[in-house]
Structure 1
Amino acid sequence: MNTNQPVLQVQELRVAIGEREVLRGASLAIQPGSVAVLMGANGSGKSTLGLALAGHPRYQVQGGSASFAGSDLLALNVEQRARAGLFLSFQAPPEIPGVKNNLFIRTAMNAVRESRGEAPLDAFDFLGQARGSAKRVGLPESMLGRPVNDGFSGGERKRNELLQLALLKPKLAILDEIDSGMDVDGVRAVVELIASLRQQGTAFLIVSHYLQMIESLQPDSVLRLADGRIAQTGGLELAREIARTGYARQPAPVEA
C-alpha cells in the first residue's frame, strides 16, 4: 500500500440507527502510522462511527463512502473487515461465556494470518506470544484460560482488549474510550502500546475525553464531532480548548 495514501478515507458518511440519523455527512482521513483523537459530546455519534466502520448490522449506512487500505470498506462483511486489518475495541467489552480467552484470540489471530498468507500459530507458539503480551499490558496470565471477559472487572476487560490489539497488530485500530475504567498503570499501558504499534505502521482513531492521556499520545490530529459531522479539526490545542470550555459553546458577544 502507498504510505502517502490514507489507510482510512471516509467521505460524507451518513449512518442511521433505526429511524434516527446519527451521522449526517462525516468525513475524515487517517494516514498509516498516525494517531487521530475523536472528541464529542455524549450522544454525538462517536461510537456510531466506529461500529458502522466495523460493520455492526444495527448501524445502517445511508450514504457516503469509506475506503480502507485501498478497498471499498462498505462492500466488505464484518469478518472481511477484520481480516483486512480493521480492529475495534468496544466501549463496554461483552462477556462470551463458554469460550476460552486463549482459544478466542488464537482463532482471530490465525484468521488474520491466513488472510495475509501466513502459516497458522500452534497452541505452543501462541501461548508464548500471549503470555508476553499479557504481561506487557498488565493482564494476569490466568485470564488467558478463562472465558472471554467472564467475571473480569472493567479494567481487566479493557486490558483484554489491549491484549488482542497487541497480538493482532492491525492496520487501523479504533479504540472507543479504551481508558475508561483504567487505573494509572492501565492508561500508561495504553499509551506505551499505541506508541509501539504506531512505529510499526498501525494507525489509530481514538475516542477519548481524558486530556492527560491525549497529551501523552501526541496525536497528529484532534477531531470534534458535532451534529453528525466533523465540526473542527486541529491539534492538541483543540483538545485543550475542549477541556477548558466543554462542548456547549456560548455564542460570541455582539459588539454594540
Structure 2
Amino acid sequence: MSTLEIRDLHVSVETKEGAKQILRGVDLTVRSGETHAIMGPNGSGKSTLAYSLAGHPKYTVTGGTVTLDGEDVLALSVDERARAGLFLAMQYPVEVPGVSVSNFLRTAKTAIDGEAPPLRTWVKDVRSAMDNLRMDPAFAERSVNEGFSGGEKKRHEILQMELLKPKFAILDETDSGLDVDALRIVSEGVNRVKQNPDVGVLLITHYTRILRYITPDFVHVFVDGKVAEEGGPELADRLENEGYDRFLTSTTV
C-alpha cells in the first residue's frame, strides 16, 4: 500500500500584479485503492493543487509538505515525480506535432519503467487499451493531440494512465468538454484502473455528473484554496442539490 500525504500546502502563482496566494493550507491523504473527489467552484484552487503535485514551474510552493511513501515529492523534478508513481491527466492536453501517439506512449513507458517494454506484449496491451476506449487503431499514428476533438484528447489521457500504471492518478477535470457517450467511455477507463488495489485516484471536478459513473470514497470541498468540508459520496449529492453558495457565503462574512 502506498500513501500520498499533503500537509499544510501553500502555493502561489506569479501574476501581473505580483505573487498571488492560491492554496492556503491544504491537508489531504490519499492511499492505494482510494478514490478522492475534489470539488469546488471555479477559482478555488483545484487545478493549482493538481499542477503543484505534478511539479509545474508556474506554481511556487511557499509552505507545507508533500510526501509519497515518505519521500519528499517537492524535492523531485517533474520526471522523477512521474517515475515515483504520480500521473496527471491534464484538463487542457497540449498538442505535440510530429510525435506519434504510439512513439509517445512507448517512450513514456520506457522512461517510467527504466527499460523498454517487450514489443510483442506492448503492442497487444496498447491495442487492447485502445479497443476498450473505442479508439480507432489509426489513432496510434496521429500526432499527439494535434487536431484531436475534446473527447479524443481525454481518452488519450486515460489511455496513458491505463498503460503507465501509476501509483496515484490525478485527473484534472477530465469530464470537462465531454458529451454523454465520451464521459461514459472515459469513466469506464478510470474504473478499470481503479480495479487495481495498488492505485489511488484524485479526481478533480466542478460538477457531479462524472460521479454518477465513478463512485468516490471521499469527497473534499475546495473553497478559497483550502478544504472547507469533507465527507463521503453523500456530500457530492448534497452539492448537486445545494451548490456551493453556503461555502461562498461563509467565506465572505
Common fold, TM-score beyond 0.5? yes
User: Matched residues in 2 for 1:95 and 1:124: separation?
Assistant: 28
Letter in 1 for 2:234: E
Query: Do 2:9 and 2:26's aligned partners in 1 also have CA atoms closer than 8 Å?
Result: yes
**Gaps (5+ residues) in structure 2?**
none
1:159 aligns with 2:155: yes
Aligned to 1:145: 141
Aligned to 1:241: 238
Aligned to 2:125: 129
CA deviations 1:28-75 (Å, max 9, x no partner) are: 001101100000110111000000000001100000000013311111
1:189 aligns with 2:164: no
Q: Which moved more, 1:119-128 or 1:92-101?
A: 119-128
Query: Do 1:87 and 1:172's aligned partners in 2 also have CA atoms closer than 8 Å?
Result: yes
Aligned to 2:96: 96
Q: 1:221 aligns with which of 193, 218, 223?
A: 218
Q: 1:198 aligns with which of 180, 188, 194?
A: 194
User: Matched residues in 2 for 1:96 and 1:69: separation?
Assistant: 33
Q: Which moved more, 1:25-34 or 1:211-220?
A: 211-220
1:85 aligns with 2:81: no
User: Matched residues in 2 for 1:107 and 1:69: separation?
Assistant: 26
User: Matched residues in 1 for 2:145 and 2:81: separation?
Assistant: 23
Alpha carbons of 1:251 and 1:80: their partners in 2 closer, same or farther (altered >3 Å)?
closer
Q: Which moved more, 1:68-77 or 1:31-40?
A: 68-77
Aligned to 2:208: 211
Which secondary structure does the structure 2 equivalent of 1:242 belong to?
Answer: helix
Query: Do 1:195 and 1:217's aligned partners in 2 also have CA atoms closer than 8 Å?
Result: yes
Query: Do 1:137 and 1:186's aligned partners in 2 also have CA atoms closer than 8 Å?
Result: no
Q: CA deviation at 1:25?
A: 0.4
Q: CA deviation at 1:123?
A: 4.3
User: Matched residues in 2 for 1:126 and 1:147: separation?
Assistant: 19
Which secondary structure does the structure 2 equivalent of 1:21 belong to?
Answer: strand
Query: Do 1:138 and 1:186's aligned partners in 2 also have CA atoms closer than 8 Å?
Result: no
User: Matched residues in 2 for 1:129 and 1:218: separation?
Assistant: 26
Alpha carbons of 1:122 and 1:21: their partners in 2 closer, same or farther (altered >3 Å)?
same
- How many residues in Structure 1 have an aligned counterpart in Structure 2? 244
How many percent identity over aligned positions?
43
Letter in 1 for 2:39: M
Letter in 1 for 2:225: G
1:177 aligns with 2:180: no
Alpha carbons of 1:63 and 1:142: their partners in 2 closer, same or farther (altered >3 Å)?
same
User: Matched residues in 2 for 1:141 and 1:69: separation?
Assistant: 38
Aligned to 1:54: 54
Which secondary structure does the structure 2 equivalent of 1:180 belong to?
Answer: coil
Alpha carbons of 1:237 and 1:136: their partners in 2 closer, same or farther (altered >3 Å)?
same
- Superposed CA RMSD in Å reads 1.6
Which secondary structure does the structure 2 equivalent of 1:217 belong to?
Answer: coil
Q: Which moved more, 1:123-132 or 1:104-113?
A: 123-132
Q: CA deviation at 1:160?
A: 0.5
Letter in 2 for 1:239: A
Aligned to 2:107: 107
**Gaps (5+ residues) in structure 1?**
none
